[in-house]
Amino acid sequence: MAVSRSVRRGLAALAVLVTLPVLTTPAGAQESGAPDGPGGVAHRESGHLARSGATPAATRFATTDENRRVGDQTGYPRQTRLREFPENPDDTAIKLGLTPYHAIAPQLNELQQRSDRVSAEVVGHSTQGRDLYLVTLTAPETPAETARQARWRELIEDDPVAAAGNERLAREYKAPVWINANIHGDEWEGTDGALDVVERLATSTERADVELLESTRIYLTVTNNPDGRVAGTRANAAGFDVNRDHLTSTQPESRAVRDVLIETQPLVMIDEHGYTGTTLIEPGTPPHGRDYEYDLYIKHAYENALGMERAIGKLGHDETARADIPFRDFEPGEWDDWPPIFTPMYSIYHGAVGHTVEVPLRVNRAEYEELPVEELRRRSAVNRDVADATITSAIDYAETHRTELIDDQIETFRRGWAGESQREIPDGYVPGFGEEDRYSVEFPRAYVIPAGVGQRSAPAAARLVDHLVAHDVRVSRAEHTFHVGGQRYPKGSYVVDLHQPKRGLANAMLSAGQDISGDVPRMYDISGWSLGLLWGATVDVSADEAPAVRTTPVAAAGPTGSLPRSPNADLELALTDGADVQAVTYLLDQGVEVTRGDDGGLVVPASARSEAARAADRFGVVFTRAGKDATGTPLAAPVIAAAVSADELAVLRGLGFDVRPISTAALNDGFDFDGVGALLVSTGLDYDALTAEAKRRLRAFLDDGGVVTRGAGGAAFNEAAGLLPATAVEGRADANGVVSVTDGEGGVLDRAPAHSFVYSPVWFTGLGESVTAEQRYARDPLVAGHWLPSDDGHGPAEAAGEASVVSGVSAGGTRAVLFGTEPMFRDHPKGLYAQVADAVFWTGS
């Protein structure tokens, strides 16, 4: 059943109440209806676990009261006044002669007063609460004209056959182009190049520019990472690389541009970056995303890249005589377009021809600190010209090839609806295309996310469904029992029919993925990422058969929390998912006595039924009736000292733990372990670099506290501190992906799923008598990703059957759990978070 985007989003607004992330308004900002945070304890309302940041579409754009949504039917221009921030002399853009963040809103406000072609609105907020701006350049439109454009945009996705036959659409549909700038905060010039384009087109008297905006809408998110722009950091204020977050969308900055992408449905998009020495313009090298309609992408991407190369060549700078086009100029694997974590690669699944552009001359990091200001500003001026030229050239390409681009976006969605096979692409389809470029997939007919006893975790299933819907993947709910592949599924099970317009994205999210280790010698970033295997829900694949059942389109997953009927019985909760952990930490915060049995199950007394009911409702968890003889050890709300990465810190806090970040320097400066129950170590803590006094205090903690480590850094700490007798073996540093694991002999991770994630994998051999393998790599461990042997021969064959996670008690009585896997990587493998909690609760008990 096809349901239009506008209807789906209206349903979403009615179906779900979503709590926005806490926003910190920069000091001194001039308020104009900035949204309030949710208040209360942050983890209780945290979306990235309970619903993975999924936002009902009708409330996606977190605008101020004065700003309209991009998706409404108000005409253009939309003359809204942006709130203006106080001057910040410490803004790192100033040194480069570029536009500081506080100057952007005044510039856009002034342009809106001068021009009826420019509109600016707020489409979200950064981690620290700064406004994320969307600028739209187009000729004035009446509300009726804008509504017509919106209907055509939806028709292209919802009924591409009808769209292909609509002659008026072919003549009058405005080609949407989206420019995203400054997603990496210390890659500044894309913002300034974008602002230059806005200024020129908003005020130009050239007939060609006027005609361009009559046939085109240009959308520009002028800074996707304002916190990083101000501070001069690649990451956002939470420490996340936003350009690695589009599949998972944990960050407000990535969610904002995800929603811009879905709402605007661009034909062409450019993501402006830096700095690669020579301007770099995608398309990328193999491996190419196997779920793309690559024939429709590459013919435009390659020609558009050549046009951008010509444009920078005309600038006259010595440094811009040519560009690097990875597809043409690099070896396979050097700059691939395999994972959908990058903005342009993610946008391809929504029907866009996406490009990363890297401006050439480095001005960040060491150069920012060491080069003379004059040289920095010279370089930034060249980079700004490159950003302007590439944006302008891409817009020109979209205008010149408007008809073909519209036809090909329609064709992308038509193939999805029809369930047609991908096209075989012949050698020479574009210059240089050959066998090494062929990556494709046989799409399954459907995925089924079971309800009832066949579902490993109801909260995980609901989170996954909400995440899919937020990404414009169509999900439906079965209205009665059905059978697929000989298996029975109850009413309420979810169906993801791959006969849908964005089947490529649905399959990229849910499929197991592919082992590409033998295809290319290296990869630019991660190579495996399956939400179907790593997010904690049971997801079944139907290769050839569509479920024969009446279904209802889903705007939001149904509620999952429940308690048994017996009001006087104690309640039991299994730690299967991160949502279960959130419920436990919430109950502990409420002063509820929770006990932990030897099997890891948690018991809540019947007297706390009302608090349990609130937890069930808030986190969607399922309590069962505890056995009459259920006993256990009282559980304390754990306080964690953590030497971990930013993503791990976000996960731990999202689970509701009280986390105190530490490092070598912090311990040497006198960090107080008072009240800490568990120490987590993955990075930033070098035991050998501790002072004698810091080691003494650490040893005093280890007499009573527990330790959880992750990866090579954690294993090195374990060895230096003399905790568990286990030899850590390190795989290749860039090896990564989804791995199969088996249960070990321990009892700490009893409910661990059958798959895990690795990056720089570690395994443990030579286990002492006090050490138990909690989990082992399977005999053929790599399911999807890229894992080659290291120079010393350590690869997946050597890891097979070896311990991936171990536990034990040291000679001094310290409980410890060592992870060789990556259970919290980039806040992505959400089905593994309960393992971390199990380890924390066990070591801290």
**Nearest Cα residue to 824 out of 640, 596, 636, 619:** 640
Structure tokens at 556: 């939001």
- Residues 261 and 263: their CA atoms lie apart, in Å, by 6
CB 127 within 8 Å of CB 140: no
- Residues 553 and 15: their CA atoms lie apart, in Å, by 12
**Nearest Cα residue to 330 out of 474, 173, 557, 522:** 522
What is the greatest pairwise CA distance in the chain? 84
The full 3-state SS of 581-629, as one line of letters, equals HHHHHHHHHCCCCCEECCCCCEEECHHHHHHHHHHHHHHCCECEECCCC
CA distances in angstroms from 518 to 100, 154, 160, 431, listed in the order given: 46, 41, 38, 25
For helices 609-619 and 578-589, the axis angle rounded to 10 degrees is 140
DSSP secondary structure string for all residues of 299-329: HHHHHHHHHHHHHHHTT--GGGS--B-HHHH
CB 264 within 8 Å of CB 70: yes
What are the beta bridge partners of residue 178?
219, 269
- Look-up: residue for tokens 């909400």? 466
Q: What angle do CA 627, 633, 634 make, to 5 degrees?
A: 105
CA distances in angstroms from 554 to 435, 456, 500, listed in the order given: 40, 21, 14
Structure tokens at 462: 């609901």
Find all residues with CB under 8 Å of 604, minimum gap 6, and list them. 570, 571, 572, 573, 587, 592, 594, 611, 612, 623, 626
Q: Is 110 a catalytic residue?
A: no
CB 353 within 8 Å of CB 293: no
**Nearest Cα residue to 539 out of 468, 454, 478:** 454
Running DSSP on this structure, what letter comes out for residue 667? H
- Look-up: residue for tokens 């399911």? 783
CB 728 within 8 Å of CB 712: yes
CB 795 within 8 Å of CB 789: yes
Q: What share of the chain is helix, strand, coil (3-state, %, to 5)?
A: 35, 20, 45
CB 296 within 8 Å of CB 205: no
Q: Are strands 736-743 and 755-759 parallel, antiparallel or unpaired?
A: antiparallel
Cα dihedral 647/276/396/141 (nearest 10): 30
Phi, psi dihedrals of residue 771, rounded to the nearest 5°? -115, 135
Task: Indicate the burial class of 370 (C-beta count within 10 angstroms; 0-12, 13-18, 19 or more).
Answer: exposed
Task: Given the residues 411, 572, 648, 730, select the one marked as catalytic.
Answer: 411
Q: 3-class SS at 397?
A: helix
- H or E segment at 297? helix 294-313
Sheet containing 602-604: order of strands: 624-625, 571-573, 602-604, 595-596, 633-634
- Residues 307 and 749: their CA atoms lie apart, in Å, by 55
Cα dihedral 336/341/344/347 (nearest 10): 130
- Entry field: residues in the chain: 845
Catalytic residues: 411
